[in-house]
Amino acid sequence: MPDADDVRRTALSLPDTTEKIAWSMPTFRVAGKMFATMPEEETSIAVRCPKEERDELVLAEPGKFWIADHEAGFAWVRVRLAALEDGDELRDILADSWRQAAPPRLLEAYPDLGLPKAD
């Protein structure tokens, strides 16, 4: 099960990512734009997720994903760290959120970052 240290290490391994404390919690930003936070005493993460996909995730795996009331109007989803299978799943989730926040120059420089591996 990934923990807060795994989140920090994985997020900071993504290109041009920095950590900043905001709202009394760690946040992770790519080129200054937030893509992940660690609320709930660092037992979960909040990541960017298109609303349509977010709703499907919550319905499919409510023990893993949920929507915080104050984020319902935004394209964010919460993820319980204890429910993640392993570090690879954590990396996939963080990389997907990173891609949604990264500027075009970084997306062009790292076109395969976080994309599913070809079989």
Does residue 115 carry a pLDDT above 80?
no
On whether residue 42 sits in a domain, the answer given is yes
pLDDT value of residue 41: 87
Has residue 116 been placed in a domain?
Answer: no
- The domain of 9 spans 4-104
What's the pLDDT tens digit per position in 26-64? 999 999 999 999 997 889 999 999 998 999 999 999 999
Contacts of 79 (CB under 8 A, 6+ apart): 44, 45, 46, 47, 64, 65, 93
Q: Is residue 111 part of a domain?
A: no
Per-residue pLDDT reduced to its tens digit, 100-110: 999 999 999 99
Q: Which amino acid is at 70?
A: H
Domain with residue 78: its CATH number is 3.90.1150.30
Count of domains in the chain?
1
Q: pTM above the 0.85 mark?
A: yes
Asked if the structure places residue 68 within a domain, the reply is yes
